[in-house]
Structure 1
Amino acid sequence: MPPKAKYCAGCSKKITNREFLSCCLCNDTYDIECINYSYKLFCLMDKEKKDNWKGPTCKSKQRNFDNTNTPVQGCRMDSLSSASDQITEDSEECNLTQRKPLIPEKQPLSPGSSSIMDDKVLVNIIRREIQQSVTEAVESAVKMYFSKEFDEIKSELATLREIGKSVEFLSSQYDRMNCDIKDLQDRVTVVT
């Protein structure tokens, strides 16, 4: 019997590759696109993280260990008749929302915080890629600039060599003409 086809619990499409994660609680399967995981991040996950991964539905059902997103209920109204008096007297105290830090210092990281760690890993990967791209771009620009400058210097050197050869040729011609003039002057003095 052929293996049972897997369908994404997020988009209901058939999963045709191995780029998916299965929830460790409900066994729902999600392709990495539906859970916004990049291919790189998916490849960086070790087997333990993949085996303990919780899907979005199970993660949202998971009870918070604190009152992070719950307003604190500090005031209770005993009767409807005194409700308006209490609201005006204690309105400032009733509307305070107190929250604990997201990750308390003394508590160990919970399995749900693995996505935070995954995000940090992803940020570090992106940071390294940006640094590498910038480094490569700067190196390329510097090489191109110096290559252009060296080509100009080579061209100017070639021009200077040609000018040097021309000056040597003109100097030798000048010396030869001076000798010819001297010979002609000597002949003129002999003839006269």
Structure 2
Amino acid sequence: MKRRTKLNPRDAVGGRWEMGSKGQIELLQRYGLMPQHTVLDVGCGSLRGGLNIIKYLETGNYTGVDISEEILEAGREFLRGASLEGKRPNLFYTDNIEFKEVQGKTFDYLLAISVLTHMPPEDIETLFANLHKVMGDRSVFLATVFLSKTGSIYDTVMRRNFFYPYEWFRDMGARYGLTVERDEKGDAKQNLLVIRKQAAST
């Protein structure tokens, strides 16, 4: 990752920079994103999608977290190049998925593009177990995944892509008070999950 970042930060996060950038803001807007809303970008990388989101949102309403300080620094350079520093986005390095860096704050929208696709089962369970810390009753979490066609979990050795049955995500969500639905309009190469808190029983 470090070597790829030094060579070309745009390629280090999967390439297709312009397509990915435009697609993420359009996806959020399709689910109702407005400038006054807050966004938590999980695995924000070098801000491929973040730049357009930051530009659209009101000042201070974008937060991004990533496990690579090198990729985040590349994102800060792109931010300066786009003259968007005045929007004061919050960018945090993290070595966990427990949201310690944003403790006590909830977000209207959460986004994880090409993140869960690289996470083993135990990490996804940790993520789901901690989502209550950053999600309110009306929050929407949009996450792309690879869905298994065999009915079981498997991964590719070389690229470390993980494939899961949809039912696995649904059941994992229910375990932690979340509803998990599929959006059939997702990217042809990845599937889109829409995750919300379960409605409180009356």
TM-score by length of 1: 0.22
More helix by share: 1
More strand by share: 2
Higher normalized contact order (CA 8 Å, seq sep 6+, divided by chain length):
2
Whichever of the two has the greater Rg, that structure is: 1
TM-score by length of 2: 0.21
